[in-house]
Structure formats: C-alpha cells, structure tokens
Structure 1
Amino acid sequence: MTMNERKMIDLEQGWEFMQKGITKLKNILEGLPEPQFSSEDYMMLYTTIYNMCTQKPPHDYSQQLYDKYREAFEDYITSMVLPSLREKHDEFMLRELVKRWTNHKVMVRWLSRFFHYLDRYFIARRSLSPLNEVGLTCFRNLVYLELNGKVRDAVISLIDQEREGEQIDRALLKNILDIFVEIGMGQMDYYENDFEDAMLKDTAAYYSRKASNWILEDSCPDYMLKAEECLKREKERVSHYLHSSSEPKLLEKVQNELLSVYGNQLLEKEHSGCHALLRDDKVNDLSRMFRLFSKIPRGLEPVSSIFKQHVTGEGTALVKQAEDAASNKKVQPDSVGLQVFVRKVIELHDKYLAYVSDCFQNHTLFHKALKEAFEIFCNKGVSGSSSAELLATFCDNILKKGGSEKLSDEAIEETLEKVVKVLAYISDKDLFAEFYRKKLARRLLFDKSANDDHERSILTKLKQQCGGQFTSKMEGMVTDLTLARENQTSFEEYLGNNANANPGIDLTVTVLTTGFWPSYKSFDLNLPVEMVKCVEVFREFYQTKTKHRKITWIYSLGTCNLIGKFEPKTMELIVTTYQASALLLFNTADRLSYSEIMAQLNLTDDDVVRLLHSLSCAKYKILIKDPNTKTISPTDSFEFNTKFTDKMRRIKIPLPPVDEKKKVIEDVDKDRRYAIDASIVRIMKSRKTLCHQPLVMECVAQLGRMFKPDIKAIKKRIEDLISRDYLERDKDNPNLFRYLA
C-alpha cells in the first residue's frame, strides 16, 4: 500500500501491538518456552514504530513512544529484576546480577532496534539521550544504586579470601567489575568511587596486618621474598579481574605497607639486613632488595648509603691491615706488602663494581656511593706512602722485566685497565704522574721495560682518563727511546764508515729530549781518559746530524761493563759510570785516600760515600777499606782487592738507590704553585673582578681533575699574585679582587 493509503495508527492500538513484542522478548530472556523472533516479526515491530513517528501531527507519537520505551524498562526491572535480586545474597546475588545485567543489555539492544527510527530522527533533533543510554540509565538508577554497596562488600570479601589462599570464581568477579565500568558509560567514576576506593583501603589494611607480623618473625631475605610474591600476586589479580587502571594504585598501596612503612627496620635487621647481605655476598637477595626498593619514592637512598658505609669499611680495613703489616716490619715498609695492598684494593673495586652493575642495575646512586667510598680510603695512603706513589710502584712492578707479577699479556692489560679506574678516585693525580714518570724513565733507560705495547697501552688509558696534558711528556719519553735506537744504529754505521773515528770501547748513547724526562743532576765528573775519547767521537758524529742541539751528558744514569783481572780469575763487572770511574783510578795507583778519590772524580761527598760504600762495604768487596768498618768516613783509604772472587763470571754491583720521594714531592709542589697561579689568572682574566670565595671555588673546580688544591695554598698564591701586580685588592672591600692587565 502506498504512503497515502496508509491507515492511521492511534497510540493505544499501536502500543498494544508493541507490548506483545516486548512481552515475547521478556519471556525469551526469562527462559520461558517462546519461539525466537522471525525477521517478519522484527520488521512488523520496526515498521509500526516508523509509521507512528511519521504520521501527520497531531498523530506523530514520537515523544510518547520515547517515554513508553523508558517505561517498558522500568516496568520490567521493578516487576522481575529487583525481586529476584533482593532475595539472594553474597555470591548467589552476584551471579544473579551478572545474569540480569547481561539480559538487560540484550533487551536494550533489541528494543533499540525496534525503536531505531526514534534514535535516527527524533532524538537527534531534540538532543535527547540516545535509546541505548536511556536503557542503561534505567538499570543504573533502579538496580545499581540500590545494590552497589552490597556488591562491593561481597567482591572485597572474595578478594580477601583469595589472598588467604582460597579458590574463588575469578570470572564472576571480572563480570561484576565490568558492570562498575560499563555503568559509567565511558567514565570511570562509578568503578573508582563505588568500588576501587574501598578495595584500596581494604588492601592497605590487609597488608598492614601481614607486615606487622612478618617484620617481627622473618629475616630480611624471607620478608623480601614474601613482599615480592605479594606484589606479583596483586599484579596477577589485576590481569584476571580488576581494571588495568587499578594496577599502579594497588601496587603503590602494597609497596607502601610492606616496604615504606617498615623499610628502615627491614634494611637494618641485625643479622640479615643490608649490611649482613653485603658481608655475606648474598647477591640474589641484594638484587631483590634493589628491585623492591627502587619502586618506592627515595627507597634506594638508605640502601646506597649502607652500601657506601660497607665499602668504606672494607677499604679502611685494608688500609689498617697494610699499616699493621708495615709497622710490624719495623724496617723500611715492605714493598711486597704494599703491592699486595694495591692488588687487594683493585680486587675490592672489581667486586663492588660487579655489585653495582649486577645487583644494582648500574643505578647512578650506587655508582656515586662506590666512588665516594673509594675516594675516602684511596686517599689515606699507607705508612708514609701516598696512594699515588703506591699505584705508580704497582704499575712499575707489572711493567718491568722480572717484576713480582708473572702475568699473561691479557691479564696485564686487564690489570692496567683496573689501575686506571682506581686512579680516578685519587685526588693527587699529578703526584701519581710524577712518580710514574720517574719509574717509567728508569724502566726505559735501564732497559727494564718488559713490553712496549703495554707501556703505550696504559698511556692511552691514562690519556682517556686524565686528558692529553697528563701523558704528553710520558708519550714523548717512549717515542724518544725509539728515536734513540735509530740514532744508535746510525752511530754504528758512522763508525764503520770512518776508520779514524774509533772510540776504543763499545759505546751506546741514548739521546733524549730534555723537556720530556725528569730533571737529572749533571755533574762535571772527571771522566777517566778511556772514556774521554768516546765522548769526543760521539760529539763529532752528532754534529754531522744537527748543528743546533747541545748535548748534556748525564753520567749518573750510565752503566759500564769492566773486565776485572783478579788473581783467582778474571771477571766481568757491571757497574755505573761513577763506579767505573772510581775503579779505573786503581789502574794507575795501588792505594788512594778518600780525599784523593773525591778530588780526582770531582764529585760531591754524598756521591762519593755512596759509590765507595757499594765497592767496599756491601756484598762485593772489590776495594779493601782501611780501617775495616761498615761506614765510609773522610779519613779512610782504599786499595784494589786482588784476591776478590765469586762463583759467577759476571756480577752486577748495585749502587744503593737515592730516595727520590722527597724530590718528587717537591717537584709536584712547585708545579702545583704554577698551576694555581695559572688558574687564578685565567679566571680573573675572564671575570675581571671577583670575590674571594667564588674565586677559590672556581679554582678548586678547575684544578680538581689533577689534584685537590689546598685552600691555604690558593690564598698564598693570591697574595703572591697581588705582590707581583697581576691582581689588586679593592680599596673599600678587601674581599674583592681586580685583574690588572
């Protein structure tokens, strides 16, 4: 039939037809025997609404149908749904609610289809709530508002049962909590206010009860295991039935009750707290501690502070142990003992660096704690030797031939790497550099260095750690030696090509660049005639290579191999140039007094005493001293010991080493004065005027990479620069300095 012929449907009659459809739907939902809707049924219902909404006014029943739609739900809920819910309790009530909510959503879906035409036109024009929302709002106002309190309590009680280890129906809870979410129609307010708040309060109370018992009964590791397990379970709880937005809030509650509240008590448990775990190397427990405490605000601070105390304690104990060992020796501190000390410090660093990376996941707080702990005891020094010196000696032992350490190449590389790491904690890096340079010089000049590659490798590492300035001289020294070898080769070629240039003895000369090497005293030793010729020949050769360089001979570093003709047998003696010069005097004289020897050699008292002692009072008595005492005095006289013998064919006669420590420290002090001056001038040049305090602070910051400048020393340098007219004091404010260009 066409539009015009359509019969008018009045409200009563139309609604009666719709009621039939709605009743059929209710019966299906209630599970009564009722055939399903056919597509014809559906079309009839849809068309009836369509027609009733498109009739000419006053027969357009859109508004009335919109109201009837809502009444249909209200009627169904009051007559069927609420009575069935009110008679059930606890879990049965929850199951009924889930069933009713599911049915309600089906009903909303079907009725919204029947009344679809309203949604499309009427509602859109009047901006009323969509049908879907109207349906859900009915449920919210009539069912949810009445029951949500009972539902919430039932759910929380089930959660607590589950926490106590009982099996519960998780799917049921998931469905119930979905109602709290869906009833918000896109907002989380109902879930949060009507369920979550109370659930979080209950969680806090639950774990507060648990924790107060555990903290008394359990050891720290056991407590942490329980805490970690609880957190894991709560996470699972979220994934099974709570809304994902609850996870951070829930874990925060658990962490707060288990860890924040009892944190300090837990960390400081006497026999099992953090100290004990560090003492007993409980790596897994420490890792767990890190994982747990990293989750709570500022939770790691007390852990890292205990870590720092612990490492400081272990390090300080090593220092004390080394001190005790040294003081028991009563004599010169035992260098082996000190080397063991350095080795132990390196091992300690290895151990705790591994803790920082493995247990504490390289967290900056723990790197800082390790650094501060090492800075405390690494700068203590042992029995009069600074750590800078000990570390330099340690390197020397590793790098020199026949050092005390028998290590493979890889092990040497690895150890050097570690030494450089420890050096980072030492404030007097410049002192280390100076000791290191002195020892490097001895290794290079006396051919004591075991391996060039290692020498270069540690310089590279030091350069990375401390900058190029730190190593430039040392690198120069190593390069010098390579050049000196080439120089020696060309000297030998020169001798081969010039028949008249004959030094008379085998001569090896090492030419060095003054600026790179430590300063050595050069005395005008009166060379024996045998040697004068050599020096001349080499000087002539060197002039063929360069006209502009002046050669200074450092005899104190030379060595000679002499043939000693003794009655029992002829022997080769390996001696220093000084010792050789003294012995050669006895080729022309049988007996010489102390003063004659001194006059002929032109040396100082100190040097003469040292070398005569080495030749007459020490292990090998090449000279016979009169009177036969253990010390040298100016009234002694000496003669060649023709009867001397030894089971070896070659012997090395050592000269007692000069203690260079004082000199090194003086040199470093002098360099520091220059460095402080330069720093102050640099700062003042850029700032023009500056007060005392910030000037000192900036100076300390600038120089800190190489040494820790002493505040008094800086004050002194400022005074000195004022007296030298680099700076002036302000007339009115003595605390203010001005740069004078």
Structure 2
Amino acid sequence: MTRGEREIILFEQGWELMQTAITKLKNILEGLPEPQFSSEDYMMLYTTIFNMCTQRPPHDYSQQIYYKYRETFEEYITSTVLPSLKEKNDEFMLRELVKRWAIYRVLGRWLSHFFSYLDRYFIARWNLPRLNEVGLTCFRDLINKEREGEQVDRALLRNVLDIFVAIGMGQMDWYENDFEAAFLKDTVAYYSQKASSWILEDSCPDYMLKAEKCLRREKDGVSLYLHSSTEAKLLEKIQHEFLSVYVTQLLEKDNSQCHALVRDDKVEDLSRMSELLFYLSKNKERFRLLFRIPRGIEPVSSLFKQYVTAEVTALVKQAEDAASNKKAEKKDMVGLQEQVFVRKVIELHEKYQAYVNDYHTFHKALKEAFEVFNKGVAGSSSAELLATFCDNILKKGSSWKLSDEDIEETLEKVVKLLDYISDKDLFAEFYRKKLARRLLFGKSANDDHERSILTKIKRKCGGQFTSKMERMVTDLTLTRENQTSWEEYLSNNSHANPGIDLTVTVLTTGFWPSYKSFDLNLPPELVKCVEVFQEFYQTKTKHRKLTWIYSLGTCNISGKFEPKTMELIMTTYQASALLLFNSSDRLSYSDIMTELNLTDNDIVRLLHSLSCAKYKILNKEPNTKTISPTDYFEFNSKFTDKMRRIKILLPPVDEKKKVIEDVDKDRLYAIDASIVRVMKSRKVLGHQQLVMECVEQLGHMFKPNLKAIKKRIDDLITRDYLERDKDNPNFFRYLA
C-alpha cells in the first residue's frame, strides 16, 4: 500500500497504544508481572509512532507526541518516584533513591528508543531538546516557572535534586555534571534574554531594581531547592549577564545628558540624575552589585563626582549672586549670606558623606568634587569662611540658636570640611585672630566648646596646628587666677590703689597674633594704673617684661553732659583722647596727635568715631564727615542719648589683608625650613626632587608656589646653606 493510501491513525487511537506500551514498560521496571517486549511489539510501537509523525497535516502528530513524551516523565516523577521516596527514611531512603534513579534512567533509554524517530527528524528539524535531555528540561522548566513568579511545587524541585546529590554518595560529580552544568547554561540563556530586553526598555534605576530582585530570588532559590555549592556559581553568572555585559551602556543611558548639563550650568536639570545616585547609595546591596565586577564602580564614581561638583558649584554661584545683589549691599548682609552658604555646604557634605562611608573610590570622588568649595565665594577664601562660621557659632549672641549638643555636632561637621581646604595655615591664622577677639573681649560663649573644637582640629591636623591656640585658652585661664592675685594685692596695699578698676590680661608672646604696640602717651589717670600693675607683676616674677598693647584695651568712663551723665564704653585710644578735654576746651588735630603720640591713621580713626559717627561726643570744625589735619575739636556738652550706657566703636580695620600678609611671610619661613630639612638628610639632591619633597612635606598645610620654592633655594644659596654642584648646576649640596 502506498503512503498516500495508508490508513490515517488518529491521535487518541495512537496514543492509547503508546500509553499501553509505556505502562507495560513501567510495570516491567517496577518488577510487576508483565510479559517482556517481543520484537513484534517493538516494531508495532515504532511503526505507529513513525506513521503518526509522517502523516500529512493536519494528522502529523509529531509535536503532540513530543509533548506527551515530556508529560510521561513529569507524571512518573510526581506519581511514582516522589511518593516512594517519602515513604522511606535513613538507609532505606538511600536504597530507594538508587533504585529509583536506575529505573528512571532505564525508562529514559527505552522510551528514547521507542520514540527515536522524533530525535532523528522532528527534534532535529525544530531544534528542540533531545529525548534524553527531556528529563532535565522538565526540571529546568519548573525552575523557569518559579522565576516568572508562578506557583510551583518547591518540595518537588528539592526532592528531585536530592536524587543527584544522594547518588553521588558524598561526591558532587553527578549533581554537577548531570544537573548543575545544564542548569547554569539555561540560567545564562534565560537572564541574557531578560537583560537584553530590560536594558532597552528601562531606566538605569529600574533596571537595577529588576536585577536586584532577580539576584535575591535566585539566592533564595538556592536555599529552597538547590545545593548550597551552586550559589556562588549561580550569582556570578547572573551578575555577569546583568552588570558586566551592560555596565557601560547602563550608565551612559542616564549619563547621556550629563556632560551637556554640567557644561551649560543647568544644575536644576542635573537633579534628575540624582535618582541613580540615591538609588545606588541608599540601597547598599544594590550599590555593592557594581563592586562585584571589574572596574564596575568607576563609572558610577565618575558620575557621582560630576553630580556633586555641580551641586557645590550651584551653591557657590547662588552665594556669589546673593553677595552681589543690590539688596545685600550692606556688609552684614553679605556676611550673613556667606554664613548660610557654609551651612548649606556642610549639609550637602553630610548628605553625601553618609552615602560613601564604606567606599574609598567614592571618598576620592567626594573630595575632588568639594574642591570647588576650596575656591571660596564673594572674595572670601574657604579658609576665612570656615573660621568666620566657627566664630559665629562660638561667640555670645550667636545668630545660630543651637543647643550644646547641636553646637558640638556642627563643629564636628565643620572640621570635616578642613579636608577640602588646601590653605589650612590660612584657616589657622583667621581662626586664631577670631579666637583672640572672643577671648580678649569676653565674647566667647562657652570655654568647653572652645576646647572641644580645638581637640577636633588637633585630631584632624595634628598637635602643631593647634598648639598656639591651646596656649591662648590656657593664658585666659591663668589671667583669671592672676586677676584674683591682683585684687588681693590692692586690698593689702591700699596706698597703691590707683582709684580705677583695672583688669589686665597677660598674654604669652609668640602664641597670640601680632598686634601693633605704640608708645601711647596715656593720661595721668591711666599712667598710675600701669605703674601700680607693673609693681604688682614684679612681685610675681622678675624675669618677664610686660609690653602694653593699648590697641586692645577698653575703658568704661563717665561722661558728664548737661542733659545727663552717661557711661561710655570705648577703646583705650578713644578714652585717652576724651580725657584730654578735661583740661582743654578746644584742641586741634595736631594737638591731639602730639599729646597722644599716635600715627595719622590711628588719629583719623578715633577722631572720626568721636565726632562723625553715630555718637558725636566731640564737635568738629568744620562740620564735615571727614577728618583732616586742619580740624578743631570741642567737647559736646549737650550730647545726649536715650540710653544711659553706650558703646562707641572704632571704624573696623580690614584684618584680612594683614592675615594674608602674615601667612605669606610664615610660608617663606616654612619653605626655608623644609628645604633645609630635606637637604640636611639627603646632602646632595637634584632640583626637581628637592621641589617635589618640599611640596610633599608642606602639602598638609598649604600648596607651596613652585616659583617661591625656587626663590627660597636661591636665597639659601646666598646665605650659604646650600651650594650648586660644580659639575651639574641642577644639583645642590648641603653646607653644614
């Protein structure tokens, strides 16, 4: 009979025949009474399968038979193998495992023979798993259903895998070769497909979220049904597919606009980029994913640095704009804006510092990003801004209403910012100047806070950095003790009492900032005070000389005006000038200058404060707002004010220039000392190496100018500390 005339076998009819054969095979393998397969039985079954797979459509049942073949294994595992295992324990369970695995493999071999036509033609044509792989693919598909979130019998998965492990009898060869290798291969294929789809569809944070969920699910799966030895291999494969393959594309997805946004200073638009940074930083497990791949964190670190730099730059620009705004023309308003700026920088630093505590790469990125702050704002260096900010917190009447605990916390945060300041010596000098004013004029709110911040700075910058400042605080403590002794001296020597309450602060030369010391011609009332105190001090020590710094002194004097008597608080210079009018009604500019022995600059400042400023204690002729050498002055007996106690301030002196000049001078000495130290230890050294070692030594305090180092080398050669090598002028020799 030709093929065209062959009788059609319907699927139900043919499958019933195959099922009978499969049941017979199972019974034989289970040891049940069944006659063995004859060659006729085998040929009949093979022919039936062949005919059903070669019939013309719609009667070509190759695909249906293939899936039924698969169901046969699934049904056998669930209906026969697992129940038999659950009934056994201990050694009997192990014996049952061996038995069941042997039967399972024989079943697979026999059925693959019965259905061999599928292997040779249908499976080859459709690129499907071969029949001897179907047992494993049954398991794989259960795994994939689990991955897709479908409910599966996890106990089933675990029990089937236990067969592989148990058969190995302590060895993992069967598990690794017969299951794990194929499982990992399928896992790579599964997640490769997922990753290639998600990288096109999702944003970076969404992609990372999905990757993290997959990793967590697979890690949980290991504990639920896989052997623990698979975990590391499995996670490594998944991480590779999700991260290593796509790390550059992943970051460029969100970074594509970043360069343009930074270039165009569109800081607000850059805030959209923060989603990635916050996502990675707040979710530590997700953040660590990028550390598990070679150089995986570097692109994120670069993006992090770029974003933080933009934020700091925005703060600087905002502060610059506020400082130049017409509404902020007053100096106190500009100063307030600068203080707000520092507080915002501190808050920004704390925000990102909390994210990167565990990662060195990000510490470096954060440090480089905050170097923008090092440039300062509105003409003020970052060193000055930080020193002023500390002063604002530590002095009485601070505009920041903070509790003691908040002050300590804020000071700790300020000190952290010192890491980003290259001119630490400039900060030290500004801070020392402001500390001196707080201590000398009683403006320090709390001694404990003063000592606390010095301790914090000392930990950060070393003991040499704070040694002078610590001695300043100590001097004030000793001054209080000294004042008690002074008062006892006066009570025991009433004849020496000058009749004026006198408080003297004795400072140790070298620890305090340098102050101008003029030979001010004091009024007789004040001369008596100085003489008596010097007599007292000589009773305590004869080896120290007192140098009086009248520019730092303050006086409370009683001004008797016609309307009322008022208490005037002023400097020693101002008080000395006013006391001249006790014996003269009218004095010229030159008279006052001669009497007091002061410079023109000081005379102009103090006379302006007494005759042209808020409180006009003196009347000036002519009545102009500037002081000139031809002016005359009289005591204003009609002066009055609603207050009975007023403070008359001298016009402020810009100390910034003086501080910078002092620091520049100290830097020259520091460079000299560094060159000598290096050369003393090396004896002979090349120019470039000498410069490099000096820069390294001094870098913890300031960035030395290379031209300045060269000049100092030349100067030291002139002073016979060094000499150039006769054969090679680029080398120097140390002269002992």
Is the structural similarity TM-score above 0.5?
A: yes
Q: Does 1:159 align with 2:143?
A: yes
Partner of 2:302: 305
Aligned partner of residue 367 in structure 2, secondary structure? helix
The residue aligned with 1:211 is 195
Counterpart in the other structure of 2:70: 90
Residue type of the partner of 1:370?
L
Match of 1:368 among 324, 344, 364: 364
The answer to whether the aligner puts 1:484 opposite 2:510 as a matched pair is no
1:695-741 per-position Cα deviation (integer Å, ceiling 9, x unaligned): 32322222222222222222222222222222233333333333222
The alpha carbon displacement at 1:414 in A equals: 1.4
1:268 CA drift (Å): 4.4
Deviations 1:28-77 (A, max 9, x none): 983549xxxxxxxxxxxxxxxxxxxxxxxxxxxxxxxxxxxxxxxxxx99
Quick one: structure 1 residues 529 and 97, their matched pair in 2 at CA, closer, same or farther if it must change by over 3 Å? closer
In the superposition, relative to structure 1, how do residues 281 and 457 fare at CA in structure 2: closer, same or farther (>3 Å)? farther
Q: Is 1:406 aligned to residue 406 of structure 2?
A: no
Mapping of residues 85-484 of structure 1, within 5 Å = 89-93=69-73, 96=76, 149-178=133-162, 180-181=164-165, 187-270=171-254, 279=274, 283=278, 286-288=281-283, 289-328=286-325, 329-330=328-329, 332=331, 334-357=334-357, 362-374=358-370, 376-484=371-479
After superposition, the Cα gap between the structure-2 partners of 1:169 and 1:458, relative to the gap in structure 1 and judged at 3 Å, is: closer
- Rate the CA distance shift 1:398–1:91 in 2: closer, same or farther, 3 A: same
Confirm or deny: 8 A CA contact 1:94 1:176 kept in the other structure. Answer: no
Shift of 1:683: 2.1
Q: Which 10-residue stretch deviates more, 306-315 or 681-690?
A: 681-690
- How far apart are the structure 2 equivalents of 1:346 and 1:77? 86
Match of 1:508 among 503, 506, 528: 503
Instruction: Find the aligned partners of 2:606 and 2:614 in 1 and give their Cα distance.
Output: 13
Distance 2:350 2:521 in 1: 54
1:438 CA displacement: 0.7
What 5-or-longer segments of structure 2 have no aligned partner?
A: 1-25, 50-67, 113-130, 259-269
Q: Which whole-Å deviations, capped at 9, do the CAs of 1:513-553 have from their partners, x for residues lacking one?
A: 11211111110111111111111111111111111111111
Tell me the secondary structure at the aligned position of residue 627 of structure 2.
coil
Is the CA contact (8 Å cut-off) linking 2:255 and 2:303 kept in structure 1? no
- What is the distance in 2 between the residues matched to 1:175 and 1:309? 52
What is the CA-CA distance between 1:89 and the residue it aligns to?
Answer: 3.1
Distance in 2 between residues matched to 1:548 and 1:78, nearest whole Å = 127
Aligned match for 1:588, one of 583, 592, 596: 583
Bigger Rg over Cα: 1
Q: CA distance change for structure 1 residues 95 and 555 in 2, over 3 Å: closer, same or farther?
A: same
Compute the displacement of 1:254 (Å): 1.7
Greater shift, 702-711 or 269-278, is seen at: 269-278
| Aligned 8 A contact 2:684 2:732 in 1 | yes
Q: Give the secondary-structure state (helix, strand or coil) at the position aligned to 2:233.
A: helix
Deviation at 1:663, TM superposition (A): 1.0
Match of 1:573, SS state, is: strand
CA–CA distance in structure 2, aligned partners of residues 465 and 164 of structure 1: 53
Contact 2:517–2:550 (Cα < 8 Å) also in 1: yes
The alignment partner of 1:351 has SS state of helix
Q: Which moved more, 1:328-337 or 1:273-282?
A: 273-282
Return the letter of the residue paired with 2:359: H
Deviations 1:486-512 (A, max 9, x none): 112211111111132121322111111
1:188–1:644 distance in 2 versus 1, CA, 3 Å: same
Q: What pairs up with 1:601-640 in 2 under 5 angstroms?
A: 601-640=596-635
What secondary structure sits across from 2:646 in the alignment? strand
Q: Using the alignment, how far apart are the partners of 1:29 and 1:566 within structure 2? A: 127
Q: Which moved more, 1:661-670 or 1:253-262?
A: 253-262
Conserved in 1, the CA contact under 8 Å of 2:205 and 2:276? no
Aligned residue number for residue 72 of structure 1: none
**Do the aligned residues in 1 keep the contact of 2:557 with 2:569 (CA within 8 Å)?**
yes
CA shift in 2, pair 1:296/1:281, >3 Å: closer
Question: What pairs with 1:49-60 in structure 2 (closer than 5 Å)?
Answer: none
- Maintained 8 Å contact 1:277/1:285: no
Which stretch shifts more, 694-703 or 613-622? 694-703
Q: Evaluate the alpha carbon distance shift between residue 696 and residue 653 of structure 1 in structure 2; reply closer, same or farther with a 3 A threshold.
A: same
SS of 1:334's partner is helix
SS at match of 2:717: helix
The answer on whether the counterparts of 1:398 and 1:412 sit within 8 Å (CA) in structure 2 is yes
Q: Which amino acid counterpart does residue 485 of structure 1 have in structure 2? A: R
Q: How does 1:507-656 map to 2 (within 5 A)?
A: 507-656=502-651
How far is 1:354 from its partner? 2.5
For residue 494 of structure 2, give the secondary structure of its aligned residue in structure 1.
Answer: coil
Shift of 1:367: 2.6
- After TM superposition, the structure 1 stretch with the greater mean CA deviation from structure 2, 614-623 or 243-252, is 243-252
Name the structure 1 match of 2:677.
Answer: 682
Q: CA deviation at 1:557?
A: 0.7
For the residue of structure 1 that corresponds to 2:406, the secondary structure is helix
Seen in structure 2, the aligned counterparts of structure 1 residues 559 and 140 have a Cα distance that, compared at 3 Å, is same
Distance (Å, rounded) in 2 between the aligned partners of 1:714 and 1:228: 54
CA contact (8 A) 1:625 1:637 kept: yes
* Cα separation, 2, equivalents of 1:584 and 1:482: 32
Q: Larger deviation: 534-543 or 144-153?
A: 144-153
Match of 1:30 in 2: 30
Give the Cα separation in 2 of the matches to 1:239 and 1:148.
28
CA distance in 2, matches of 1:91, 1:700: 78
User: TM (normalized to structure 1)?
Assistant: 0.79
1:206 Cα deviation from its structure 2 partner: 1.8
Do the aligned partners of 1:77 and 1:139 also contact (CA within 8 Å) in 2? no
Shift of residue 27, structure 1, vs aligned partner: 10
C-alpha separation between the residues in 2 aligned to 1:444 and 1:640? 33
Q: Is the 8 A contact 2:158 2:224 kept in 1?
A: yes
| Kept in 2: contact 1:692–1:735 (CA 8 A) | yes
After alignment, is 234-243 or 573-582 more displaced? Answer: 234-243
Q: How many angstroms apart in 1 are the aligned matches of 2:686 and 2:137?
A: 69
Unaligned runs of 5+ in 1: 1-25, 34-75, 114-131
3-state SS, counterpart of residue 572 of structure 1: strand
Cα offset for 1:310? 1.6
Counterparts of 1:345 and 1:413, CA distance in 2: 17
Provide the C-alpha distance between the structure 1 equivalents of 2:411 and 2:81, rounded to a whole number of angstroms. Answer: 76
Aligned residue pairs, count:
644
- The letter for the 2-side match of 1:440 is L
CA distance in 1, matches of 2:363, 2:698: 23
C-alpha displacement at 1:151, in angstroms? Answer: 3.3
Separation in 2, partners of 1:152, 1:418: 60
Q: Equivalent pairs: percent with the same residue?
A: 75
How many angstroms apart in 1 are the aligned matches of 2:571 and 2:548?
Answer: 14
Q: CA deviation at 1:608?
A: 0.3
SS at match of 1:635: coil
Q: Distance in 2 between matches of 1:164 and 1:410?
A: 52
Deviation at 1:577, TM superposition (A): 0.7
Report the Cα distance in structure 2 between the residues aligned to 1:188 and 1:580, rounded to whole angstroms.
Answer: 97
